[in-house]
Amino acid sequence: MCTLEIQETGVQVKPGGMERAEGFVGEFLVEFAAIASVSVQDDPASLAHGLKSGVGLPNTKVGTWRHDDVEDYFCVHRDGPGIMLELQPGHKYARVVVTVEHPQDVATQIQQAVAGQ
């Protein structure tokens, strides 16, 4: 499972060992200034579309999906809600979608950190 860590300048996305292998992506930082919006998604796996580099099974999406000249990063491992970070144009990913425990709390923390920048 991936974890999100709120740091001083952004949100650190930390794929676990299995996610690194499945999705071909290591840890990366999403700077607060890059985040356009934060939302809780009831069915985050349904957001994945396009060409994938990673694992795409029902309710499991790990890796990069390319569509409409942009890339999205997914680390989704189960039914239920997840966090979606929509990023400003010009960054590596257009969206970062991750399932986390207590997604509403995590979304609120990220929104507050973005507003404080």
Confidence check: pLDDT of 117 > 90: no
Confidence check: pLDDT of 35 > 60: yes
Please give the mean pLDDT across all residues of the chain. 86
Q: With 0-12 CB in 10 A as exposed, 13-18 as middle and 19+ as buried, what is 92?
A: middle
The CATH number of whichever domain residue 77 belongs to comes to 2.30.29
pTM for this model (two decimals): 0.88
pLDDT-based confidence at residue 90 (cuts at 50, 70, 90)? very high
| Number of other CB atoms surrounding residue 10 within 10 Å | 21
Task: Note the pLDDT tens digit of each residue in 48-72.
Answer: 888 776 666 677 888 888 888 899 9
* Amino acid 93: pLDDT: 94
d(CA 56, CA 34): 26
d(CA 40, CA 102): 10
Beta-bridge mates of residue 25: none
Higher-pLDDT residue of 66 and 96 is 96
Q: In the chain, how many domains are there?
A: 1
Compute φ and ψ for 78, nearest 5 degrees: -170, 170
Q: How far is CA 88 from CA 2, 22, 23, 85, in A?
A: 22, 26, 23, 10
Q: Which residue range(s) make up the domain with 32?
A: 3-115
